[in-house]
Amino acid sequence: MASTSPLQSISSLNLADPISSASQSHRILGSNLSYSQLFPSHHLKISSNPKGFITSKTSKPFTTKAFFFFNKSKETKPDTPKPTKVQELYVYEINERDRNSPAVLKLSQKPVNSLGDLVPFTNKLYSGDLQKRLGITAGLCVLIQHVPEKIGDRYEATYSFYFGDYGHISVQGPYLTYQETYLAVTGGSGIFEGVYGQVKLQQIIFPFKLFYTFYLKGIPDLPAELLVKPVAPSPGVEPCAAAQATEPHGTISNFTN
């Protein structure tokens, strides 16, 4: 029968001082029980090798390895700045009266041009030197104000210039039938993707002959066949015969028709 003296000693300890009680308990228990009795090892063996330890009765070591993964954020490439070089592009818009354009939608139902009247249109587009057919224009004008003293009208226009395989340029802004104006270049496609700037509109004979000077930024250098020396605008200007007939040497590749 095991001795009961340790239990009697524990029960007689003064618990008012938990720290001293704990200390006495350790001394009493330590005098009667060995560490091997308190914590049986079951033949556990601690390896001197810090990379592993033995957890079974066998002599084969069990190794634990830790892997650390660092979340390295991807390096972001700085945005490539858009070209700020201004490129001038000259084109003629000519109404050859073969596209049923323009169409006038009198939404105001008034005898004179009035606010709200709509004018959808499409005309042919030629290079500034009038040697090549480029494509077409297509868009819509909304009448904002009739200006009788100028014998004309003010429109708000939204339209595009189509250049065959090269893509297109979109513009928006004031369209005056009696004087030149500037419209904003709002974007484009193809080689004109990302373009911005403005375009100067010159009325030669409204609505049959118009001359445009684009001031384009934000795009790479334009192809040489578009950067031509323009013919000076005048009422008598006409495209060359090859361009009007859309002969191969008188057009750009897959010109928009």
Residue pLDDT tens, the chain, 257 long: 444 444 444 344 444 454 444 444 444 344 444 444 444 444 444 444 544 444 445 555 555 555 555 555 556 666 677 778 999 999 999 999 999 999 999 999 999 999 999 999 999 999 999 999 999 999 999 999 999 999 999 999 999 999 999 999 999 999 999 999 999 999 999 999 999 999 999 999 999 999 999 999 999 999 999 999 999 999 999 999 999 999 999 999 999 99
With vertex at residue 169, the alpha carbon angle to CA 168 and CA 174, rounded to the nearest 5 degrees, is: 145
Report yes or no: 105 and 117 within 8 Å, Cβ to Cβ: yes
Report yes or no: 186 and 206 within 8 Å, Cβ to Cβ: no
Report yes or no: 151 and 178 within 8 Å, Cβ to Cβ: yes
Q: Output the six-digit token pair for 37.
A: 């009795």
Alpha-carbon distance of 59 to 44, in angstroms, equals 10
Q: Output the six-digit token pair for 186.
A: 């709002």
Report yes or no: 13 and 21 within 8 Å, Cβ to Cβ: yes
What one-character-per-residue DSSP string does 161-229 give? EE-GGG-EEEEEEEEESSS-EEEEEEEESGGGTT-EEEEEEEEEETTTEEEEEEEEESSPPPPTTTS-P
Report yes or no: 255 and 164 within 8 Å, Cβ to Cβ: yes
Alpha-carbon distance of 255 to 168, in angstroms, equals 11
Report yes or no: 120 and 105 within 8 Å, Cβ to Cβ: yes
Contacts of 160 (CB under 8 A, 6+ apart): 137, 138, 139, 168, 169, 170, 171
